[in-house]
Amino acid sequence: MSSSRARFIPSRPWRTGTVWAVGRRVFVHCPNGFARGVDLTISEDGETLAGSLLDGSEVEVLAWRPRGASGTRYRVRARDGVVGWLATNELRATLVAPPLPREATPAAGVVASSAPATRFGARR
């Protein structure tokens, strides 16, 4: 008689990131601050160029394709009617781009000391 124990199969961790619904209006995001905009491609593979869109251009999501480790691609239509594919990181929910993260600065009231460090409880 064979064992009928359930086999444990670990689940894949959920990928974090934004998911855009078909029909939603979103804005083009230039992830590296490219002034020229992002390339809009005719095919999902990103090889045939349809044009480029500037940061903040409004687009409508028409479809999406999961692409595994290379990231999901979204078929979008710009206001001028141009249709093409963009990557997830090339879209955002707001017209204005979120601020870039700044370097950590010491909290207010914290004074940096040039004195050598001592171990907790040790006397100087």
48-81 residue pLDDT tens: 787 889 989 999 999 999 877 778 899 999 999 9
- In the chain, % of residues over pLDDT 70: 66
Residues whose CB is less than 8 angstroms from the CB of residue 114 and which lie 6 or more positions away in sequence, other chains included: none
Global pTM? 0.63
Cα angle, residue 34 at apex, residues 31 and 35 outer, rounded to 5°? 135
Q: Which domains does the chain have, with CATH numbers?
A: 25-92 (2.30.30)
Sign of CA dihedral 67, 96, 61, 47: negative
What does the chain come to in residues?
Answer: 124
pLDDT of residue 28: 92
Residue 115 above 70 pLDDT? Answer: no
Q: What is the pLDDT of residue 11?
A: 57
- Could you tell me where the DSSP H helices lie in the chain? none
Contact in structure between 20 and 64 (CB atoms under 8 Å): yes
pLDDT of residue 66: 87
Distance CA 22, CA 51 (A): 22
What's the mean pLDDT in 82-87? 91
| Interval 34-52: pLDDT, tens | 667 888 888 776 677 878 8
- Torsion angles phi and psi, residue 52, rounded to 5: -135, 155
Q: Which two tokens stand for residue 37?
A: 């905009």
d(CA 105, CA 33): 24
